[in-house]
A and B are shown apart, each in its own frame.
Chain A
Amino acid sequence: MITDELVDIEIKLLMDGVYQVYGYDFREYSEASLRRRLTQWLSNSGFATFSLAQSQLLRDRALFDTLLRGITVNVSEMFRDPAFFKAVREHVVPHLKTYPFVKIWHAGCASGEEAYSMAILLLEEGFKGRFRIYATDINEEVIRKAQEGIYPLKEMQHFTRNYQQAGGTGSFSDYYTARYEHAIISPKLRENIVFAAHNLAVDSDFGEMNLILCRNVMIYFKQPLKEKVLGLLDRSLTHGGYLCLGTKESLNQRQIAGHYEAIAPRMQIYRKQYAKK
């Protein structure tokens, strides 16, 4: 349809402008989801078209921030894909236990649910005082939310079920305090997590990680950006370290695939080989 093609052109022009003015690069994001998110923003913005919004978006940082939120907000849940966390417990944790201290990077942590899940898992596996999780996201507002660790109380039933299916060995209610309509994550989980803003598309690598989680982040990227980010994750991982992707992502046919070994079938957990590159 002509109008849809016009919208595509307007989005392309806007994303070019956004990159030049603010440095955020969405030109390599896959179009279908980007268009859906942007269209949703537009329908709440009061502007009739992206062209009409563009002039103000490029001048008004506060307005741009609302757009940024619309494009980059990801949602997650605690122990999303319980079978994945179970596989981490069974296949990855035994190896991590051989290290005196473990560094974990959670790239694209959104509002923090999965980072807290990992902290719970490691505490239950006896890593108290022996690990640090660096949880990063492109969206600074979402990082602040993650840091607060406050979630709707009504989600807890679902999270508890996930926790149990993921092989949790304690009682999930020990990890939060219920207050009115909210659940506040226990401070003991927070003390091992460093939350920070990081943009996978333009920022540099993190050093010497033993485990990197980047789940369902790259599904929004086009191939070239995906390869670039995988290279960044690869450089940030120690030899013998683990890379975890979303259950529908895979290293198949990726440039770095050659020196990674799949550890758990269907769970997309890979181990970086010791062999020289």
Chain B
Amino acid sequence: MQRNNCRQFKAIVIGVSTGGVSALTQLLGALPADFPIPILIVCHITPDSDDGLAKLLNTLCTIRVREADEQETITSDTVYLAPANYHLLVERGGILALSIDPPVNFARPSVDVLFESAAEVYGTELIGVILTGAGSDGSKGLLKIKNNGGVAVVQDPTDAEMNSMPGSALRLLNADHVVRLKEISGLLVRLAGDKP
């Protein structure tokens, strides 16, 4: 925990599936508008969804939430949501990229795709978070974050609406933090060095 205090994180990536809307509303709703680290999120949604979820979260949260655009430069104080039917990736230099490559783990956007590309770009300066969801998408990506020296956070499966996604991650790796949903925003604020 203490080693984190001298670390500057460049990004937080979050993966969530079933139960995502309420989990994200709670987590992002508790973050301050000037939260200093950009957040990139893959939430499994149906392919024909529009940007309704981003708009909804933007209304419910003080921090700015929007759908990711291709080749947009990532800035802090902003939460980027992967658009429906596209994978979201990170380029070197902190630029967002989209792809229509085949679904991974039956999902597009896929959590693994985001996490693996972010791990390659940010290395130790990355926090990965797996929240509630069915399936196992995100486990391999979180392992890569861990292997590249980043921080792995997993929602306590007993606290999750659907426990298989966090459970699968915990079977694959030793998470740095296993916490309840309501504690995650506080943890992120602490890791950001922005004492509440």
Contacts and interface: CB of A to CB of B under 8 A. Distances in A.
Given A1-B120, A4-B120, A31-B92, A248 B83 contact: yes
Contacts of A33: 89, 97, 99, 101
Interface residues on chain B, size class: 20 to 34
Interface string B146-186: 00110000000000000000000000000000000000000
Interface in B85-144: 85-86, 89-92, 97-102, 113, 116-117, 119-121, 123
Contacts of A250: 69
A266 interface: yes
A132 B192 CA distance: 57
Contacts of B97: 30, 32-33, 219
Contacts of B92: 8, 31
Interface in A1-30: 1, 4, 8, 30
Given A1-B123, A33-B97, A219 B89 contact: no
A247 B98 CA distance: 11
Contacts of B50: 266
Interface residues of A, number: 27
Nearest to B123: A1
B70 interface: yes
B48 interface: yes
Interface in A27-61: 30-33, 35-37
A164 to B, nearest CB: 12
Given A31-B92, A248-B86, A36 B101 contact: yes
Nearest to A218: B70
A220 interface: yes
Contacts, number: 65
Contacts of A249: 70
Nearest to B100: A216
Interface in B53-106: 69-71, 83, 85-86, 89-92, 97-102
Interface in A254-277: 266
Interface in B11-56: 48, 50
A223 interface: yes
A173 to B, nearest CB: 22
B70 A32 contact: no
Given A1-B148, A220-B99, A36 B117 contact: yes
Nearest to A165: B48
Contact of A219 (B100, B113, B116): B100
A132 B163 CA distance: 53
Contacts of A82: 48
Interface of B: 48, 50, 69-71, 83, 85-86, 89-92, 97-102, 113, 116-117, 119-121, 123, 148-149
Interface of A: 1, 4, 8, 30-33, 35-37, 74-76, 81-83, 165, 216, 219-220, 223, 246-250, 266
Closest 5 CB pairs of A and B: A32-B89, A33-B99, A4-B120, A1-B148, A32-B117
